[in-house]
Structure 1
């Protein structure tokens, strides 16, 4: 089985691995359970680059593991 094909497996563990299969994603999930909610809080807690954090959060939102919520209208302008 190739890594690129892991998300198409019939196995629920393989599909979960395709979502949570790297250390940054697991650490983001850990922090979410610890009630970290804002992008800047994740970045401060993990010491991760903005690009990598944004990528991992977007993947988790696409997989419907996390939900994206606007917390400050000024930030979105």
Structure 2
């Protein structure tokens, strides 16, 4: 069953483009860019998710990331 998002594809793409643009403008190498995105993800989870739910959210995120890599 396909996943239905409450966010429009246009909004998602806009944010992705803005983030990637910042990393490209800074000429961040791949390892630095991934480190920044990973740390940002950690900050978002720690700042927005109850402590007892953080591991489950991180696990779902990791599985979604793994599934999206072709």
Please confirm whether the aligned pair reaches a TM-score higher than 0.5, indicating the same fold: no
TM-score scaled by structure 1?
A: 0.32
TM-score scaled by structure 2?
A: 0.34
Counting helix residues as a fraction of each chain, which structure ranks higher? 2
Q: Which has the higher contact order (CA 8 A, sep 6+)?
A: 1
